[in-house]
Structure 1
Amino acid sequence: MRNEQGARRAQTVAVVGSGPRGLITVERMAARLAEEQTDRLVDIHLIDAVEVGAGRVYRTDQPGWYLMNTVAGMVSAFSGVPDEGPVRAGAGPSLYEWWAGVDPENASPDGYASRADYGRYTRFLLDAVEQNLPRGVRLLRVRAAVEDIGPDGDGYLLRLSNGEDLRADQVVLTTGHTVPELTGREKALADFAADRVGPRYLRGDSAADMPLADIAPGTPVGVIGLGLSFYDVLAAFTLGRGGRFVPDGDRLRYLPSGREPVVVAGSRSGMPLPARGRNQKPPRFAYRPTLFTQDNIRARVPSGPLDFRRDVLPWLLAEVDLVNCATRLRLRDGEEAGVAFTHAVARAVEGLADPAVPPDVTAMAAVHGVLVDKADLDALARPFSGRTFADRAEFDAALTGAVAADLAEAELGNVDSPHKAAMDVLRDCRGMIMRLADFSGLTPRSHREDLIDWYGPRSAFLAAGPPPVRLRQVLALLEAGVLRVIGPAARFDPDPGAGRFVVSSPVVGGAAVHVDVVVDARIPSPDLDRDLSPLTRRLRERGIWTAYANGDFRTGGVAVTTSPYHPVDRDGRAHTGLHVVGIPTEHTRWFMQVGSNRPGLWGDLVHDADAIAAHVLKGGT
């Protein structure tokens, strides 16, 4: 590129957001520039409002009790594994390999690093990338929020919160989670607290960004949700208050500090998110489905939108059943028996009378004496569904029994527990679901009702999972009286007469408790129309960002083209100098929460970043 006087000028690229997607985009740009072996001039501005190189979620000043939920050996922020050269873009250690170098006493390939440690690791990546940039390429770290982006000639002008302006030829937006406007029940809770002295409502967000330390000891606190963020909130209220978990035989015992609040938690299921199975898989493990394939799914509908429940779900559940049954056969009769059964199921597809209907895997297993029920995601994700409990004691017994049973399965491992191995299928098949569902791959009704409203929550419950230690801590806190789970179908309501909130369960006798604070331990779903971010609001007002619609379903995700993901404005025009990837495009695409890659294996995270890097370095045309 040359300026008006004919002198060479640097191509200027702005990457907004330095979480995992922003960093991998910078890493892929650096790797491609190194491969070019040219003397081109490129300035890469990496912009983050919280911490450049770590972002908000993985910032390095957060407490160590906030943990990752993927084992360290299976996480890499680099797009390639180490080689004989220096650590650089395209060749770097996994999270475990880095962790072992800085904290060998605690590092384990099958352990769970803290999110702060992951932030230190990604800052290490950024340093390594910068130190090995080709001549003529600069990385400029900018700590500021981007408050506006508008067209400026053949580029874009970015207005920053530090009062500066930045002109860029191309912009990559990886802005992550933001705070949406409250609606419905959440707004009613917030309004109730705002109108009174005493009750408080803390909206859903990362636990590290909630003012949890402000809640006085002994305060009754209602916690909405029993998912991953629930465990973070619980850790802040216990470990963060000086409490300790100590071994007591094969369990944990909680030693209170006396500064804890009293936690009353609940969710629709009434069951804390089940634990990940003890890892038995190698770092570069990649699952290859036998039944859940594009060819099998497209047998009924060769082209056009799919119906998730009719066309996709049966094959996914058959794959779950296959892993469950094959694992049981392997454990009983040896490795060859499991492999032979898998091959027999694969052959059975060829002889199906209706090629759109998967084989009955459990019936085939029954012939070998393996008797299991077909996978039922409703039953698995709602273990107390249809049950009533006379009182708290009856529900507590059922709850502790269910948690203990889940821990026993987790201890068997994600290969040797038939249940945990089968649930890993839901995690391992996310990529296929993305390819089928993205960009109106499903009918509008099925997209909204089946994928987002029904399958998404159940998949998250069964496949996301915290480290097993979190479930052991739950049992210890239940026993210590610091935690109470109210029961299934939990409700969190204002009680104007009492001037407090009430937490209740309609299926547990006497389950109604008044609390002074309600903490929403759920990460809000992205929604362009309700996003309160100044940048989002201005992009929306300019018409550069619009909500993607699948037929009559306005998804709330930013409308973008297919790879390399240019935003589509209100006139239907793609802005080829802009790219949007990750959380803002959730529902246009599916499961944009992915934040890491397996060592040496390119998933969608890296493919997306590499496609954007390639387009940017061609000049954005």
Structure 2
Amino acid sequence: MMKVKMTEAIRKIFVNASGRWKLPNDDKMVPERIAIVGTGPRGISVIERIASKLTERQTLRPLVIYAIDSVEVGCGRIWRTDQPDWLIMNTRCKNATMFPNAPDEGAWRPGYGPTFMEWWRQVDTNYPGPSGYAPRGLYGKYLKFVLDVIELNLPDNMSLERVQDRVVNITEHVDQYELTFESGRSALHVDRLIICSGYPHREKSKHAENMAGSSVRHLTSFDILETFQSGLSLPLDLSEQVIGIRGLGLSFYDVLSELTIGRGGRYVVEQGTLQYVPSGNEPKLIVAGSRGGLPLPVRGKDDRPANLVYVPQFFTTSRVASIRANGPACFRSSYLPWITAEVNLVYVEKVLGSDQYGQFRKKLDASEVTSDTVMHVMSQLARPYGIDKLLDLGALAAPFQGLSFNSQEEFRRAVVSVVGEDVAQADRGEFNDPIKAALDVLRHIRPIIRKAVDLGGLTRSSHHDFITKMARTIAFLSSGPSRTRAKQLLALIQCGKLELLGPSATFRKTDEAAVVASSDKVKDYSVEIDVLIDAYVAAPNVDLDENPVIRSLADAGLLRNFMGVGGAEVTSKPFHPITVKGEVKDRIHVLGIPTESARWFLHVGLVEPGVWDEFIDDADTIANTSIQNLVFGAPEVVSFDNGLSTNCNADPDKYLN
């Protein structure tokens, strides 16, 4: 081997007395330590982004990532892998990935890997196709696969330590944070904290823990998210029990599955209709209710042409930027008219067909409209084409608003009619059915809504109104489950196993310690229930969250409530928390659900394949900030005495013998 002579000057800089490489400012080469608390999709995405960046750009200072989760490192509690298969995702498998880029000719690695759909197709012979809805536990296995790919391809000087333990306290010290654990393991000292702790915690009722095997009537209430983590504390045989469910959202369908399929029941198709076949172990009756009295509308059949991107016409990024430039706005007057117009533009297009819609659109484009006039102008232009009424988002979300019913049978017929029509619309497709296509617009413009409302985009009063009212309406209309869920619901009503309560449902404890479910909008109907399950997802609130991670930071004044609505107040990207004293903690990042209300609609922890969306960009920005204290860059290529060039980061012995 040709020997290469290194100049003495270079030797003094880069080689120590023992012949090993040393680095300038050796005291700065101690590892940078980062704790990521919570390893659901948000936490994994940050790890993936850091690893990807350090693969592309070499660091001379070591980095240690601690991936911490109290339930299952790599997927967290919502996506834990031991969940039963009847708990399914509400997103089609083709619409999910954790890799920003598709695989290339190289190995799977940070930045490049299979989408969830591609992975599922490879590991399961029963893969249902791109429109399939996967079990949540299966997606959890995909997340763990992603973490494995990251760890197996970590760049030099980056290491990953998985910590499955519950953080019970976080203490701030000078230039570092101390994490203590429930198991009693040694405290962890880190330089940076990334909080991705997800949904808020509420302790399970002691009544719930004592319920299994008991035939005594109890009021039993607990958060359904505790079900995902611990399982329902109910006996397998519920044949003598009347179960109440508070809430008709996505978690309601999970509870419904637990109480039916989870007790041995099954659904069969007879004469083209889905029917429920009882096992005898499900509840004698399930009684469910909510404020509005209506379950979430379901997603339409997947009939949207591939790669067809929705381009907003009224509610555009540029319009939102123009409005925000003038300071905090009122959502109802500044933004809602444009959102409603956007939804109705698609509705009119689907109702009229291409030829008549072209005529309508030509007239609309020739009209000058403002937020005050746009809906009036659209309504006037649509009327000659036979469209007497445009869609009202509030009315769609609350069809029973202001109505009363003379009997439960009358309300049952009404709700079955509404749900049945919703299913019929969904069967026609979310691209072709006018109403489903229109409501699908709300899904496409979510990122633009976030640009309008996030981090102080609204006045204080409007922000409160948005979070407590309008945001719920938009989420209700745009985040529903698959058609199968609604068909199962109708089958349960038909066989007498399920009753939905009227609007403004209540669950009241009587003087006899019984719980009675009823609605004051439905005459002469009430049911005494044995067990009450709370299927509402608690809204993030730093003042009430019992998760010790949030609790310890909030109690220390490191987190504060955003505008009194609930979530943690943070800066714009990279989402540093703002303390009760108004200071910015630039070594902490709070990402995702804990900041809900300061930001909006963060519940969807999925990345659309091929789209660099906010989910990726959030993680990417935090990754950039997290590695800013590392020493980057191999020393420049230098010339040696024989004229050959090589990189100074190679093994020095190769050139010194």
The TM-score normalised by the length of structure 2 is: 0.86
Change (3 A) 1:142 1:329: same
Give the letter aligned to residue 257 of structure 2.
A
Distance 1:5 1:83, change over 3 A: closer
Paired amino acid for 1:253: Q
Q: In the alignment, what sits opposite 1:319?
A: 342
1:433 aligns with 2:449: yes
Counterparts of 2:124 and 2:191, CA distance in 1 = 41
Amino acid at match of 1:428: H
Question: Do the aligned partners of 1:43 and 1:138 also contact (CA within 8 Å) in 2?
Answer: yes
Contact 1:568 1:574 in 2 (8 A): yes
Identity %: 38
Structure 2 SS opposite 1:117: helix
Contact 1:212 1:237 (C-alpha < 8 Å) held by counterparts: no
The C-alpha deviation readout for 1:573-598, integer Å capped at 9, x for no partner, is 21111111111111111112121010
Alignment of 1:254 onto 2:276: yes
Show the counterpart of 2:550: 536
Partner of 2:505: 490
Could you tell me which residue of structure 2 aligns to residue 422 of structure 1?
Answer: 438
The count of residues paired between Structure 1 and Structure 2 equals 599
Partner of 2:421: 405
Secondary structure at the residue paired with 2:244?
strand
| Structure 2: tracts of 5 or more residues without a match | 1-21, 632-657
Task: Give 1:377's aligned amino acid.
Answer: L
Alpha-carbon deviation of 1:265?
0.7
Deviations 1:387-425 (A, max 9, x none): 222212222212211111111100111100110111111
Which deviates more, 104-113 or 10-19? Answer: 104-113
| Partner deviation per Cα, 1:524-579 (whole Å, 9 max, x = no partner) | 11111111122222212211112223xxxx12211211110111222222111111
Question: Separation in 2 of the partners of 1:576 and 1:296?
Answer: 32
Q: Which segments of 5 or more consecutive residues in structure 1 lack a partner in the other structure? A: none
Q: Which among 70, 81, 84 is matched to residue 60 of structure 1?
A: 81
Provide TM-score, normalisation by structure 1: 0.91
Flag the 1:299–1:609 CA change in 2: closer, same or farther, 3 A: closer
Alpha-carbon distance between aligned partners in 1 of 2:630 and 2:445, rounded to the nearest angstrom = 33
1:160 aligns to what? 181
Where does 1:288-327 land on structure 2 (aligned, <5 Å)? 288-296=311-319, 302-327=325-350
Separation (CA, whole Å) in 1 of partners of 2:339 and 2:580: 37
Greater Rg by CA: 2
Residue aligning to 2:647: none
Q: Is the 8 A contact 1:178 1:526 kept in 2?
A: yes
Name 1:366's counterpart in structure 2: 383
Select 1:201's aligned residue among 220, 243, 252.
220
For structure 1, which segment, 146-155 or 583-592, has the greater mean C-alpha deviation from structure 2 after superposition?
A: 146-155
Residue 525 (structure 1) aligned with residue 544 (structure 2): no
Q: Which residue of 2 aligns with 1:236?
A: 258
Describe the SS at the equivalent of 1:93: coil
Q: Deviations over 1:273-300 (max 9, x none)?
A: 1110111236755422100124445767
Q: 1:389 to 1:570 in 2, by over 3 A?
A: closer
Question: How far, CA to CA, are the matches of 1:154 and 1:620 in structure 2?
Answer: 15
Structure 2 counterpart of 1:12, one-letter code: R
1:386 corresponds to which letter in structure 2? G
Q: Give the superposed CA RMSD.
A: 2.6
- Report if aligned partners of 1:99, 1:107 keep a CA contact under 8 Å in 2: no
Equivalent position amino acid for 2:612 in 1: W
| Structure 2 counterpart of 1:574 | 584
The equivalent position to 2:45 in structure 1, one of 24, 31, 39, is 24
Off by >6 Å, runs of 4+ in structure 1: 1-5, 298-301
Q: Post-superposition shift, 1:617?
A: 0.8
- Of the structure 1 ranges 172-181 and 223-232, higher mean CA displacement relative to structure 2 is found in 172-181
The alpha-carbon distance between structure 1 residues 45 and 438, as it changes in their structure 2 partners (threshold 3 A), is same
Q: Distance in 2 between matches of 1:326 and 1:7?
A: 62
Aligned match of 1:460 in 472, 475, 478?
475
Alignment equivalent of 2:398, drawn from 382, 403, 410: 382
Out of 565, 571, 593, the position equivalent to 1:583 is 593
SS of the equivalent of 2:608 reads: coil
Q: 2: distance between equivalents of 1:171 and 1:283?
A: 40
Q: 1:467 to 1:89 in 2, by over 3 A?
A: same
Of 179, 194, 205, the match for 1:172? 194
Q: Which amino acid aligns with 2:473?
A: R
Give the corresponding residue for 1:94: 115
- What residue in structure 1 maps to residue 241 of structure 2? 219
Distance 2:174 2:322 in 1: 49
**Residue 598 (structure 1) aligned to one of 590, 604, 608:** 608
CA distance in structure 1 between the aligned counterparts of 2:52 and 2:361, rounded to whole angstroms: 40
